[in-house]
Structure 1
């Protein structure tokens, strides 16, 4: 056998990036030998022209780690390469860049990323390039925080012993440019206006001209995302941010064509989807994140105005395939402090809602992928979500042993899972899940010496 002629032959690099990083011998997070017994969680999924190497997605996670001003405002940094790149290195199928402002006043805090300027594109490309060099797809969540904008990072607020603290001009904020579908002190997120114990600024109501500019801002942000080499775009219409504020009759009290009926309240979102879809290639996947319910059904406000609930989400979801949306990312809550559930106290409530939505769409022959997001921390639970829904969480261990793909008429609860905080605790979560489920997946070439032993 002849010896390799150059070191590049021995250790080839990933092509088309301006630095050397080794090309993995096998793609991390993918099974060495796929078979009928391979859990759905580790089967690839093709969405338009892109293929996820497995069904585990790193959900967008706010990090509040960009410059708040100057020439680097909103640009991603080495921090984002280090964190997001590591999730890709350790096998995630798709890694999302966090909620990214399409306008300067669309950031949650002055330290959130943005893509409202062509000058910010290169920083996103650098992060996207590294994510893709590790075999994952790169994604970006396009967002506008609306009335929840111009606040300080949560650890700063915690120092004041408050859940939220306003970011004034001296802190890089924009008190006079916080916006929402409806304006006035009563429409601040916590309802406290400018009271001393309040944590949010009162919004001003967007004008029709403002709404036109907003839709265009989403479109231009999508264009820049394509130029940055992003693989997947997600539109953020959840968690009480601006597009969710328009959807909810509790926060949208407008009397023009953008308020009142379901059709009017969903108009801005539909215009944004259409504008984004028109800016991106036909073969590029488009996701949408919604709060499937704002958990306000039993409130006095809901009795007076109505609320955004699961049935509203199903009604919206039926429209999405025709608009060019490929996947609905199902979350919940965040639009009002009176919501009735603590979203961090249950491990599977959102996946049950995702299942309900998926079954309703399949019944009507709508082909829309569904993503479940929540506190997914155990391999067996993750596997149950994408394979079968006949086993309770208490039977996870036996289900992990017995179940393969959904068979015999069983339907999965979701097509993919989106995991957030668990990746912050364990960047190697994908590899750990595979190990627990007995799936022999590839590890990063640089980490083979510490690979988990076979069970």
Structure 2
């Protein structure tokens, strides 16, 4: 089953055991000094254990002092980070997976006050229309220094035993700011024509080759199309034909793989899509790049189902299936697909709770999380292996078979309790049933499908069309009663 999806393929000297890539995603769980945390090791280890072939970490800072995106982010700008990175690599390798660390600087999309500067470095003095931070055009000396930060960061990754480095040139961050004519308005050797706009990235690649050798895999993630039509400026930025030219250029430079994405902060919806975007909607980008180059192409496009992933590979639209949220929602996605347990996959519903909590994490007591996977980012505290199995068959009544009630029943059953679920409606799902009915909201219903299958698998009794009386509840002699009678509109 899924022969293509579970076939091995090389990226340079690195052999990836399958075509499944967890692409980079911020998680706000690193230590405050930029070192790898126990939570990081548990988080990425869970995805490797779950069968992901290549795990790519969140973007790590090459300049932690003035180039953070948030206050809990991994860094590679000092040798003190090497031991933690080695621990992380060892954890991922334990399960037979490969690991790459993505490195970056936010440039104009960073927050000046957070980074202790008056203005953020950028290719040009152009303000991001999303974060609205002051910026300044980098001097030649600043550019050379920054390239050195990327190069030394990659060297530390190799020393730590990380299999590959990914340079983050997508989504409007600093490297991308040099690549795009929308953000690069320079008139010197780093701006203007195509060759000049590529120069900053070229110098980083050349430096990494010199320091790390020709056999250390370099992956470049970039936006093949910035989709500025979504921001009302269709004439601006990078378009698909530009992205294809970038791909050809990077292949000629000796890059080992291309991780093809789209968008910048001003067109954020095409990078971190809300529920209305269909599975595979932007595969034309990776497909166009694959037709133009011989090196492997990682394609991300709201891919959620293994059947669709296999189809994309068979149609040769890309070489590797990339996603971040897919594996945030279910770290065991790959194992379940390989074993033919598709109904057990907890598919990401594109609700963007992860992005909501990540963007607010520095100012909120609520940690980053996943709306449908409570364990996400909390693997070091909550995991199935350490879950108490103390139910001893005791009965627990659960009133309401919406998402909260069904999740309660699922975990209670895993702990060895005997949950009995009461639902006054004729079907389970609660308000999610209604929420999934509008056009383009169908993915929301995936949660109900998953939960219903879980309860069936665990043998949980669900009594539909039943609103229990107090006498009926007492008759069960329940150890506890969970009241999950529905949320209220905000």
Check if 1:81 corresponds to 2:41: yes
Residue 377 of structure 1 aligns with which residue? 304
Distance 1:100 1:252, change over 3 A: same
Question: For each residue in 1:239-274, what CA deviation from the matched residue of structure 2 results, as whole angstroms up to 9, or x when unmatched?
Answer: 010111111111111111111111111111111121
Cα distance in 2 between the residues matched to 1:264 and 1:42: 40
Name the structure 2 match of 1:296: 228
Map of 1:405 onto structure 2: none
Q: TM-score, normalised by structure 2?
A: 0.66
Per-residue CA deviation, residues 63-105 of structure 1 (Å, 9 max, x unaligned), is 122334xxxx111100111100011111111111210111122
C-alpha contact (below 8 Å) 2:86/2:162 kept by paired residues: yes
Name the CA distance, whole Å, in 2 between partners of 1:334 and 1:420.
17
Q: Residue 436 in 1 paired to residue 363 in 2? A: no
* Residue 6 (structure 2) aligns with: 42
1:120 aligns with 2:50: no
CA–CA distance in structure 2, aligned partners of residues 299 and 60 of structure 1: 24
Indicate the SS of the match to 1:140.
strand
Offset from partner CA, 1:296-326 (integer Å, 9 cap, x none): 15876554xx421111111111122221211
Q: What residue number does 1:180 align with?
A: 122
What is the CA-CA distance between 1:335 and the residue it aligns to?
A: 4.5
Counterpart position of 2:280: 348
Whether the aligned pair in 1 keeps the contact of 2:219 and 2:257 (CA below 8 Å) is yes
Give, in whole Å, the separation in 1 of the partners of 2:186 and 2:241: 22
For residues 124 and 56 of structure 2, the distance between their equivalents in structure 1, rounded to whole angstroms, comes to 30
Matched, 1:426 2:314: no
Give 1:291 deviation, angstroms: 0.5
Deviations 1:210-256 (A, max 9, x none): 00001111110011000110001111100010111111111111111
1:331 and 2:261 are equivalent in the alignment: yes
Contact 1:250 1:301 in 2 (8 A): no
- Quote how far apart the aligned CAs of 1:46 are: 2.1
Q: Counterparts of 1:129 and 1:286 in 2: how far apart (Å)?
A: 20
Which of these residues, 37, 60, 63, is aligned with residue 27 of structure 2? 63
1:204 lines up with 2:168 in the alignment: no
Match of 2:320 in 1: 416
Aligned residue for 1:190? 129
Report the counterpart of residue 107 of structure 1 in structure 2.
68
**Is the CA contact 1:88–1:135 (under 8 Å) kept in the aligned structure 2?**
yes
Normalising to structure 1: TM-score of the pair? Answer: 0.71
Q: 1:223 to 1:52 in 2, by over 3 A?
A: same
Question: What are structure 2's unaligned runs of at least 5 residues?
Answer: 343-384, 387-413, 415-453, 458-490
Q: Which structure would you say has the larger RCO, counting Cα contacts within 8 Å and 6 or more residues apart?
A: 1
2:248 match: 318
Q: How many matched pairs?
A: 344
Structure 1 or 2, whichever has the larger Rg, is 2
**Structure 1 pair 379–147 and aligned structure 2 pair: CA distance change class (3 A):** same
SS at match of 1:147: helix
Aligned-pair distance for 1:275?
1.4
Name the structure 1 match of 2:94.
Answer: 133
Change (3 A) 1:335 1:253: farther
1:95 and 2:55 are equivalent in the alignment: yes
Q: Distance in 1 between matches of 2:171 and 2:325?
A: 16
1:338 CA displacement: 8.9
Per-residue deviation at 1:281? 3.2
Q: 1:148 to 1:86 in 2, by over 3 A?
A: same
Rounded Cα–Cα distance in structure 2 between residues aligned with 1:309 and 1:417: 22
Query: Could you list the runs of 5+ residues in structure 1 that have no partner in the other structure?
Result: 1-36, 151-166, 192-198, 389-411, 439-445
Shift of 1:181: 0.9
Measured at CA, do residues 437 and 44 of structure 1 come closer, stay the same or move farther in structure 2, by a change above 3 Å?
Answer: farther
- The residue matched to 1:252 in structure 2 has which SS? coil
Identify if the C-alpha distance between structure 1 residues 236 and 342 changes in structure 2 by more than 3 Å, giving closer, same or farther: closer
